[in-house]
Amino acid sequence: MSTHPERSSNPLREGLSNRPMPQPCTVVIFGASGDLTYRKLIPALYNIAADGDLPAALSVVGFARREKSDASFRSELEEATRKFSRQGLNEELWQSFADRIFYHRSEFGDLEGYQRLAERLDQLDRERNTRGNRLFYLSVAPGEFGGILEKLAAVGLNQAGPGSWARVIVEKPFGTDLPSARSLNEVVNNVFSEKDTYRIDHYLGKETAQNIMVLRFANAIFEPLWNNRYIDHVQITAAEPLGVEGRGPYYESSGALRDMVQNHLLQLLCLVAMEPPTDLAADSVRDEKVKVVRALRPLSPEAVAQDVVRGQYAAGSIQGREVPAYRSEDRVSPESMTETYVALKVHVDNWRWAGVPFYVRVGKRLAKGGTEIAVQFKNVPGVLFNRDLSVGPNVLVIRIQPDEGISLRIQAKHPGASVKVEPVKMDFHYGTSFGKASPEAYERLLLDAMSGDATLFARRDEVEGAWEFVDRIEAAWHQHPTPPPLCAYASGSWGPPEADALLERDGRSWRRM
């Protein structure tokens, strides 16, 4: 008897299988001489081409201030792609791909440069059949957004012709607080409509982050248990053994809370906590995520002192190598009060999650690197095995990076005559299970932007809601008469002892990755 894939009218399956295909277009990268273009964007587009998913009629135009020719730009990108592509570099494929790449030299504030860009894009449309579709990628500092967008509008590049589209991708940070985020959103939306604005968060492009919805809503064994009746708490961890790595001035103006919690980690929390959407349309998914943001319990100054720990790394040892304290890093104030570690207890005040704490932590110079979500279920009643023996809880771990995958810890009897219960792990790895490496986050996000699928991009109300939550914490740290202390922790540790106490007072402990 032959078997075939099961057909279903399940909207989840239909949504996944019927995603729009990427369309012919010209991708214009502002800030094309920057690190992001060389390390991420061009290697991502090359990998998409290597997988056969890139539209044949696609062009890339790099827009930057430095003097380069098309040939020199392509040569530089070839070396970068050879180094950073997950698939290496195939010479024949690269030559075909490189023929699509062009360089446009102009100052960001030079209106004539944008007029010449418009003419060149029209020429590429005629020569390469890109159909008037344009994707503008702002790989520049947020302070440059306004000027670039104003010039695009002045020459009409924000307006698509009949049957064509014009979209903009905005890199983080999306502001530094709620007022600046609102101002930035106004600047962008004055030129591009919200439906054509794609705020990129590369965490949402990671394969395991995308799989959270499938894990929850396509598996009957999990969704009935995904609530406060069965889940004790959730831990979300983003740990780095690295320090600020020469980014002292940026980090001094940001800190761990604004750099990581406001966007990446709250995005993961939303995916874990959201209700099932009615379908997989972009706004249906994002509507549910916004509901989670709105349900976050606001933190008063007293609650911040109680439920938030901020820390800063001191000198220590990472993998046998001595490393300096944060205050000794290049271009960091010796009296800096910037946090490199944050741990907080978050409550989602809705029916599903009432009483279930979400513990979120992020830190630099920690003992090990990785990002994961750990869902710890409630323990079994102390009637049989839990009466006299130490039986631990079931834990579902979603590994975002590295070694993407999912594991479930269950209890099993150890072989032998006595009843000895030990934890065992059911493990799933993307790389071994599917026989291929997971695509890089930017590959998926660029494909989605070319397809017009905004599901994995942050919407304006979601960004502003997250800033409103984070701003209360920042205010308690910097404006309250008696702010909570900045706790020191040794590099190579798992953070300050105060973060351990945050969970210990609830009878819980951080999971060791």
CA atoms of 46 and 13, how far apart (whole Å):
28
Q: What is the mean pLDDT of residues 354-358?
A: 97
Question: What's the angle, vertex CA 221, arms to CA 263 and CA 272, rounded to 5?
Answer: 10
Percent of the chain scoring above 70 in pLDDT: 92
Residue 378: band (very low, low, confident or very high) from pLDDT cuts 50, 70, 90 = very high
**Catalytic annotation present for 264:** yes
Question: Which residue carries 């030990």 as its tokens?
Answer: 422
Range in 108-112, 258-262, 372-376, 421-425 the model is least confident about: 421-425
Which one, of 208, 347, 362, lies nearest residue 273 by Cα? 347
Question: Given this model, what pLDDT does residue 365 score?
Answer: 96
Please count the CA atoms within 13 angstroms of the CA of 52 that sit on its side-chain side.
0
Question: Given this model, what pLDDT does residue 11 score?
Answer: 40
What are the tokens at 197? 């604005």
Residue 105: band (very low, low, confident or very high) from pLDDT cuts 50, 70, 90 = very high
Q: What is the mean pLDDT of residues 270-293?
A: 93
* Phi, psi at 374, each rounded to 5°: -115, 115
Question: Which residue out of 202, 233, 264, 347 is catalytically annotated?
Answer: 264
Contact 451, 22 (CB under 8 A): yes
Q: Which helix (H) or strand (E) holds 310?
A: strand 308-314
Beta strands 25-30 and 134-138: pairing type?
Answer: parallel
Q: What is the mean pLDDT of residues 177-205?
A: 92
Residue 389: band (very low, low, confident or very high) from pLDDT cuts 50, 70, 90 = low
Q: What digits encode the pLDDT tens for the residues 297-354?
A: 999 999 999 999 999 999 999 988 999 999 999 999 999 999 999 999 999 999 999 9
Residue 17: band (very low, low, confident or very high) from pLDDT cuts 50, 70, 90 = very low
Q: What is the mean pLDDT of residues 391-403?
A: 86
Burial bucket for residue 8 (CB in 10 Å: 0-12, 13-18, 19+)? exposed
Residue 41 or 429, more confident: 41
Sheet containing 166-171, strands listed edge to edge, beginning at the edge strand earlier in sequence: 101-105, 58-64, 25-30, 134-138, 166-171, 197-200
Amino acid letter for position 160: A
The beta-carbon contacts of 68-76 under 8 Å, at least 24 apart in sequence, are: 68/33, 68/103, 68/105, 69/103, 70/101, 70/102, 70/103, 72/103, 73/32, 73/101, 73/102, 73/103, 74/98, 74/101, 76/38
E-state strands within 321-452: 321-323, 341-347, 357-363, 370-377, 395-401, 405-413, 421-429
- The chain-wide mean pLDDT, for the chain, equals 89
Whether pLDDT at 268 is above 70 = yes
Question: What's the angle, vertex CA 403, arms to CA 456 and CA 406, rounded to 5?
Answer: 70
Longest dimension (CA), the chain: 84
Question: Given this model, what pLDDT does residue 10 score?
Answer: 42
Question: Given this model, what pLDDT does residue 393 score?
Answer: 87
Which one, of 470, 274, 213, lies nearest residue 360 by Cα? 470
Q: What digits encode the pLDDT tens for the residues 193-218?
A: 999 999 988 888 877 777 888 899 98
Contact 299, 308 (CB under 8 A): yes
Residue 8: band (very low, low, confident or very high) from pLDDT cuts 50, 70, 90 = very low
Whether pLDDT at 73 is above 60 = yes
Whether pLDDT at 6 is above 50 = no
Whether pLDDT at 437 is above 60 = yes
Question: Given this model, what pLDDT does residue 392 score?
Answer: 78
Question: Given this model, what pLDDT does residue 337 score?
Answer: 95
Whether pLDDT at 366 is above 90 = yes
Q: Give the domains, in start order, of the chain with CATH numbers.
A: 23-171 (3.40.50.720), 205-504 (3.30.360.10)
Beta strands 316-318 and 321-323: pairing type?
Answer: antiparallel
